[in-house]
Amino acid sequence: MSFLSQVSLTRTPGMELLIDTLKESHWDWKADPYGEVTASLFDLAEAFLVWTGENLPGFRPSPIFVSDGASDVYEMLTDTVTVTESDVRAVYSLLSRAQSILEAMGRD
């Protein structure tokens, strides 16, 4: 069971779609939870930057390339009207919190 499955919050359909898309490409919690959260944050932030032209807090885009995972997220963002900017920000905030918790636990 992943961290996001355990979080109790009101999720919109757009948030669910984002979480499912990220799970498809990243979520191997048993092997490397911190790495998976960090990779998901980068993918989400890169896709958001391409989608809106705006950086999410704490994110600096790569000058070299856009990752495959970000491409998957961006494709999902542009193919659906379900996901809003608020949904992206909420999932990004949740992942950032998970990253902070893992760091505090010494699992980074």
At 1, the pLDDT band (50, 70, 90 cuts) reads very low
Question: Would you say 42 and 59 are in contact if contact means Cβ atoms under 8 Å apart?
Answer: yes
**Structure-model confidence comparison of residues 21 and 41, the more confident one:** 41
* Distance between CA atoms of residues 96 and 25, nearest Å: 18
- This model's pTM is above 0.95: no
Could you tell me which of 56, 58, 47, 69 has the C-alpha nearest to residue 100? 58
At 38-95, the pLDDT tens digits run 888 988 888 888 888 898 988 887 777 666 667 777 787 777 778 889 999 999 999 9
